[in-house]
Structure 1
Amino acid sequence: MLDKKTLMVTLLVSLCTSYLSAQTKSVDVDDLHGNWHLRTMDGQDVREARAILDFDAKNMKLNGFDGCNPMYSELKTNDKTIQSTKLSTRQNACRQSIHSYVRTRLHKTVKEGFTVTKAKQKGIDGILIKSSKHELFFKWMNS
């Protein structure tokens, strides 16, 4: 028989788990189609870098701007992970340190593979792209 304290803790954990799973809904690749503006990276506001990802779900392509240069890639999926197969970009120098910061981490995230869930930050609806090392929040550019 469970005591009251154990029962309360179990109930609280159950409620929190249910709430969090309801808040993190996986996104299908087809739902990513369009332009997405990077707003935060690893908790830091990086809107100033003006990085953009443009998902072409039909052709499994990713285009965009990494903060310094245009970028192009082919995508593949396995289970719930999306990964770049051929990331290419120009090697022009970045203007400011924020641009270099974003470029480096964005490339690592795309190359190592990532998951995508619906998310909300500061009242803004968007998507959360997570890799093993980075967490990026994007807002759809048409909203």
Structure 2
Amino acid sequence: MNNPRELLQILARQFGLLSKNCCQIGGQDISIIHSHILYEINRQSMPSMQLVADTLGVDITTFSRQIQSLVKRKLVKKTASPEDGRVYLLSLTTEGKFVAGSIDKMMTDYLDEVFSFMNEFERDTVLRSIQLLNRSMQKSKMCCTPMG
């Protein structure tokens, strides 16, 4: 079983990437895209909408709709930049920070359990391999563009 596509398909399924929702937190269903958006806003300090959209490889129109949904759910705050009113900066609300923190804890616990079945060498090998794969994908001309 050394078919790269098959291995990545299985990995995506086991990671739950084909599911509509990643989890339910505080009575709210959180979609996978919302989980990624909350993670990026939390990781960066007051990022612009365009920066987060670019980081996630999502077109700004689609991203804008996702942000509106998160604003309505009171998870994200959108503020006009003091330097340029056409640019919107994103931050997490208190509830958004709670949701992002809960997802982070769930993912950390999940990965800790997954890696508990490996010895240190295997774990380090997997992590180095993922870093290598990420770097190679970033160099690819096909990376992060819709296929079809």
TM-score (norm 2): 0.24
Q: Which has the higher contact order (CA 8 A, sep 6+)?
A: 1
Please state which structure has a larger fraction of its residues in strand.
1
TM-score (norm 1): 0.24
Please state which structure has a larger fraction of its residues in helix.
2
